[in-house]
């Protein structure tokens, strides 16, 4: 059981949360103008590192807010969580 | 080295006379050569099958299979051994049924008993929507020439007396699909059989050798860097389920793959109580009984990606709660072992068996939670792809470019089971 540090509520058990996949993916500003490759990259291609991963979570059984987290995918060690719009913690890329 | 002998009733009798001390090794442990015609990264079932079919079907025997751990120690040794080909879409049905047909003759072909047991695979329907969906799929599967039938609750109860089909059940059972040709095979034996047969044809299986880099020159692959030195080859195929993204990144390729832990567990051994495979997509479980008597239970994937081969505990709790509702007597069983494997999933829940933008570099991965059943078919088409530098018609739809041109093969839920 992971203990996830919600930036708003503090540490809670993982069953209160849902995972939202890779963080910091921006929808292309002008989808009509970009190539199929760039669109596929936005839609489907994902970082899948064995190591530090920046990801989104939602605390849906708590404050129901989205936030980001840096986690090591090999060990499940959580480096830190941070609010949407904030920069990832140091040491996480 | 003692030459590999054919396994038969006569060799069994002959070795019995010497108290079974004279059996030779099933495969060699060679030092890596400087150069091969082809390198396969990953000595799991799919990689070993690829090497076997490269040698058998395409005459390519100067081949190395490189493995960072021990052969068959990844997902090949961690799955729940279920085999079936009841897939909805034509592309999937074709490749999975090719695999099932190869499985049906595999013990003879490899001269190795893979203990295939075609005891049937039952997919449960728990609500009216499930019933309609399953009936549609049964028809679609039959149109592809694959056996499939629909069972009523009474027929299910007759076949599986320990299942709870009462109307008041937490997960009421309104019907099921059945593929009688489906079943289980001994997963380790599949890896060992392919390893022995590939080795006998001259393939070098190099264990304890981790690939640390993919060598390239002017957009062409030239070999791999490993913990045991540089090994050269004009063709490199990666068949390293779970770690496909990690290896592809070494060649500068970004993939639509995300890796998740998938868990399974076995109970203490008991007398025969269930003689088929039961799956339920609604409650994410699949259950069968091993020849040793253990009840083998497969779970759903974890809620977040990762490479820890353990998986998260809440999944186990949900899993066992659901299984005990379906099979009330399982509540008396004790879990003996539980483990996790890393599955690499694609957005359309279909594999990638494809050439890549790097010449001579091939990818076979993204099988998600269901790679074991495809093992011989996967190796067969991937050998074709690597030997001829073009896909076989069976794996042509499973190209990497489908994510760009939009020709996805959306098997999410289509196979009536969690992916």
Q: What is the pLDDT of residues B68-96, one digit of tens each?
A: 999 999 999 999 999 999 999 999 999 99
Q: What is the pLDDT of residue B104?
A: 98
Identify the helix (H) or strand (E) that includes residue B149: strand B149-151
pLDDT in tens, B38-66: 999 999 999 999 999 999 999 999 999 99
Taking an 8 Å cut-off on Cβ atoms, the answer to whether A73 and B305 are in contact is yes
Q: What is the pLDDT of residue B414?
A: 47
User: Which of B259, B312, B347 has the CB atom closest to A48's CB atom?
Assistant: B259
Q: What is the pLDDT of residue B413?
A: 59
The residue of A48, A68, A77 whose CB has the most chain B CBs within 10 angstroms, and thus the best one to mutate to test that interface, is A48
Q: State how far the alpha carbon of B137 is from the alpha carbons of B77, B144, B369, in Å.
A: 30, 11, 20
Q: What is the pLDDT of residue B416?
A: 42
What is d(CA B250, CA B240) in angstroms, rounded to the nearest whole number? Answer: 13
Taking an 8 Å cut-off on Cβ atoms, the answer to whether A75 and B308 are in contact is yes
Residues of B within 8 A of A49 (CB-CB) are 245-246
Q: What is the pLDDT of residue A93?
A: 60
Torsion, Cα B99 B39 B389 B253, to 10 degrees, reads: 100
Q: Is the dihedral of CA B25, B29, B33, B37 positive or negative?
A: positive
Long-range contacts (CB closer than 8 Å, 24 or more residues apart) made by A8-13: A8/A59, A8/A62, A8/A63, A8/A65, A8/A67, A8/A83, A9/A59, A9/A62, A9/A63, A12/A59, A12/A62
B122-158 in b/e burial notation, b at 16+ Cβ within 10 A? bbbbbeeebbebbeebbebbeebebbbebbebeebbe
CA distance, residue B246 to nearest chain A CA (Å): 7
Identify the helix (H) or strand (E) that includes residue B53: helix B45-58
The residue of B261, B263, B302, B305 whose CB has the most chain A CBs within 10 angstroms, and thus the best one to mutate to test that interface, is B305
ipTM of this model?
Answer: 0.95
> Which residues fall within 8 angstroms of residue A1, CB to CB, at 6 or more apart?
A13, A14, A15, B312, B313, B314
What is d(CA B99, CA B292) in angstroms, rounded to the nearest whole number? Answer: 26
Residue B4 — very low, low, confident or very high, per pLDDT cuts 50/70/90? low
Residues of A within 8 A of B347 (CB-CB) are 43-44
Residues pairing with B275 in the sheet: none
Residues pairing with B267 in the sheet: B335
Q: What is the pLDDT of residue B300?
A: 85
Residues of A within 8 A of B254 (CB-CB) are 41, 45
Helix or strand or coil: residue B257? coil
User: Which of B255, B307, B344 has the CB atom closest to A73's CB atom?
Assistant: B307
Both ends of chain B: CA-CA distance in Å?
A: 44
Residues of B within 8 A of A48 (CB-CB) are 245-246, 255, 257-259, 305, 344
CB contacts under 8 A, B 301-320 vs A, are: 303-308, 312-314
What is d(CA B350, CA B398) in angstroms, rounded to the nearest whole number? Answer: 7
* Residue of chain A whose Cα is closest to the Cα of B406: A40
Closest CA to B332 of B124, B162, B79, B80: B162
Phi-psi region of A91 (alpha: psi -120 to 50; beta: other; left: phi over 0): left
Look over chain B and give the mean of its residue pLDDT values, rounded to a whole number.
94
For the entire predicted model, the pTM comes to 0.95
Residue B288 — very low, low, confident or very high, per pLDDT cuts 50/70/90? very high
Taking an 8 Å cut-off on Cβ atoms, the answer to whether B306 and A1 are in contact is no
Q: What is the pLDDT of residue B411?
A: 86
The proportion of chain B whose per-residue pLDDT surpasses 90, expressed as a percent, equals 91
With 60 as the cut, is the pLDDT of residue B393 above it?
Answer: yes
Query: Is-contact B77 B70, C-beta < 8 A?
Result: no
Helix or strand or coil: residue B121? strand
With 80 as the cut, is the pLDDT of residue B245 above it?
Answer: yes
Taking an 8 Å cut-off on Cβ atoms, the answer to whether A50 and B246 are in contact is yes
Taking an 8 Å cut-off on Cβ atoms, the answer to whether B403 and A45 are in contact is yes
User: Which of B243, B256, B344 has the CB atom closest to A44's CB atom?
Assistant: B256
CA distance, residue B203 to nearest chain A CA (Å): 30
Q: State how far the alpha carbon of B264 is from the alpha carbons of B168, B296, B345, in Å.
A: 28, 7, 17
With 50 as the cut, is the pLDDT of residue B277 above it?
Answer: yes
Q: What is the pLDDT of residue B58?
A: 98
Give the residue carrying structure tokens 């190796």. Answer: B379
* Residue of chain A whose Cα is closest to the Cα of B405: A36
For the packed helices B45-58 and B187-200, what is the interaxial angle rounded to 10 degrees? 30
pLDDT in tens, B159-185: 999 999 999 999 999 999 999 999 999
pLDDT in tens, A27-77: 999 999 999 999 999 999 999 999 999 999 999 999 999 999 999 999 999
Q: What is the pLDDT of residue B415?
A: 44
* Least confident window among B140-154, B180-194, B299-313: B299-313
């Amino acid at each position: 059981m992971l203990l996830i540090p919600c930036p708003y509520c503090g540490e809670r058990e993982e069953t209160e949360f849902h995972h939202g996949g890779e963080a910091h993916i921006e929808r292309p500003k002008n989808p009509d103008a970009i190539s199929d490759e760039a669109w596929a990259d936005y839609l489907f291609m994902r970082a899948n590192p064995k190591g530090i991963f920046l990801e989104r979570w939602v605390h849906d059984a708590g404050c129901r807010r989205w936030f980001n987290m840096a986690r090591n995918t090999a060990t499940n060690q959580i480096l830190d969580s941070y609010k949407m719009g904030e920069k990832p913690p140091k040491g996480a890329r | 080295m003692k030459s590999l002998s054919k396994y038969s009733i006569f060799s069994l009798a002959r070795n019995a006379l010497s108290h079974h001390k004279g059996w030779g090794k099933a495969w060699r442990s060679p030092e890596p050569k400087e150069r091969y015609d082809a390198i396969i990264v990953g000595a799991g079932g799919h990689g070993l099958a690829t090497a076997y079919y490269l040698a058998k079907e395409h005459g390519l025997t100067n081949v190395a299979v490189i493995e960072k751990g021990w052969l068959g120690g990844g997902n090949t040794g961690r799955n729940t051994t279920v085999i079936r080909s009841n897939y909805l879409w034509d592309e999937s049905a074709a490749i999975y049924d090719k695999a099932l047909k190869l499985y049906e003759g595999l013990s003879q072909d490899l001269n190795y008993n893979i203990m295939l047991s075609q005891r049937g695979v039952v997919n449960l329907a728990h609500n009216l929507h499930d019933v309609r969906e399953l009936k549609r799929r049964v028809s679609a599967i039959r149109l592809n020439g694959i056996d499939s039938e629909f069972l009523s609750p009474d027929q299910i109860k007759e076949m599986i007396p320990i299942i709870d089909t009462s109307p008041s059940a937490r997960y009421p059972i309104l019907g099921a699909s059945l593929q009688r040709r489906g079943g289980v095979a001994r997963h380790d034996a599949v890896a060992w059989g392919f390893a022995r047969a590939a080795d006998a044809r001259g393939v070098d299986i190099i264990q304890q050798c981790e690939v640390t880099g993919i060598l390239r020159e002017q957009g062409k692959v030239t070999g791999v860097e490993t913990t045991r030195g540089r090994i050269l080859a004009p063709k490199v195929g990666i068949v390293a389920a779970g770690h496909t993204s990690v290896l592809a990144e070494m060649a500068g390729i970004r993939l639509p793959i995300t890796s998740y832990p998938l868990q399974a567990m076995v109970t203490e051994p008991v007398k025969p109580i269930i003689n088929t495979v039961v799956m339920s997509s609604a409650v994410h479980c699949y259950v069968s009984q091993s020849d040793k008597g253990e009840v083998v239970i497969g779970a759903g994937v974890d809620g977040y990606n990762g490479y820890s081969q353990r998986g998260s505990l809440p999944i186990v709790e949900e899993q066992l709660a659901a299984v005990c509702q379906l099979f009330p007597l399982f509540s008396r069983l004790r879990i003996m072992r539980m483990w996790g494997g890393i599955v690499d999933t694609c957005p359309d829940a279909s594999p990638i068996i494809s050439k890549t933008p790097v010449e001579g570099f091939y990818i076979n991965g993204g099988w998600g939670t269901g790679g074991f059943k495809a093992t011989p078919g996967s190796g067969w088409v991937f050998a074709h792809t690597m030997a001829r530098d073009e896909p076989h018609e069976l794996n042509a739809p499973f190209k990497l470019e489908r994510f760009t041109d939009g020709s996805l093969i959306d098997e999410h839920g289509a196979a009536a089971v969690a992916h």
